[in-house]
Amino acid sequence: MNTISWGILMPIGAIVARNFKGFGPAWFYIHVSCQILGSLGGIAGSVTGLMLGHKSSGIEYKGHKCIGITLMSLATVQVLAGFLLRPKPDHKYRRFWNLFHYALGYTAIVLGIVNIFKGFDILEPPKSWRYAYMGILAALVFLGVVGAAFTHWNKKKN
């Protein structure tokens, strides 16, 4: 649940917001759907982690736990601020909202990926799990970088 939510859905949502604005308004609905699903799945996954942690008394994974709790807060703030605080695109304060939203959003994505690898270290599943996620991550990074280069180049051309 955590890997799919924080590690796949949320990065896809960011890639779509970053690179697909030129294709019409659908990017917004895809972004919001990915981020809401990612947040709900990610919070459910973290609560599952906390419950597992509670059952194994005496064993605590401090770093993994702190990042997990931070992520739940970031996702909650991000979704609430997305709906309640977002000014219209041409509003004079919109750039501050963007700055805040980008900073929190990318922080959550990076922390999410870090915690997934910490999770693999805790559970020690077969190596293939880690490799499978590394493959997906490489594909996401590739998509993000190619998309960023393409939109950058397209903006320059126009």
65 binds ligand HEM (CB under 6 A): yes
**Contact stretch for ligand HEM (CB under 6 A) within 100-108, 139-147, 150-158:** 100-108
Between residues 87 and 139, which has the closer beta carbon with respect to ligand HEM? Answer: 87
What whole-number distance in Å separates Cα of residue 58 and Cα of residue 143? 42
Q: Among residues 53 and 143, whose Cβ is nearest to ligand HEM? A: 53
Please give the residues from 129 up to 158 whose contact with ligand HEM meets the rule CB under 6 A.
none
68 or 140: whose CB is closer to ligand HEM?
68
| 3-state SS record for the chain | CHHHHHHHHHHHHHHHHHHCHHHCCHHHHHHHHHHHHHHHHHHHHHHHHHHHHHHCCCCCCHHHHHHHHHHHHHHHHHHHHHHHCCCCCCCCCHHHHHHHHHHHHHHHHHHHHHHHHHHHHHHCCCHHHHHHHHHHHHHHHHHHHHHHHHHHHHHHHC
CB of 76: closest distance to ligand HEM in angstroms? 8
What are 34's two structure tokens? 């990915």
Residues that bind ligand HEM (rule: CB under 6 A) add up to a total of 45
The single residue among 18, 100, 136, 147 that binds ligand HEM, judged by CB under 6 A, is: 18
Applying CB under 6 A, which residues contact ligand HEM? 2-3, 6, 10, 14, 17-18, 31-32, 35, 39, 45-46, 49-50, 52-53, 56, 59-61, 64-65, 68, 71, 75, 78-79, 82-83, 86, 98, 101-102, 105-106, 108, 112, 115-116, 119-120, 122-123, 125
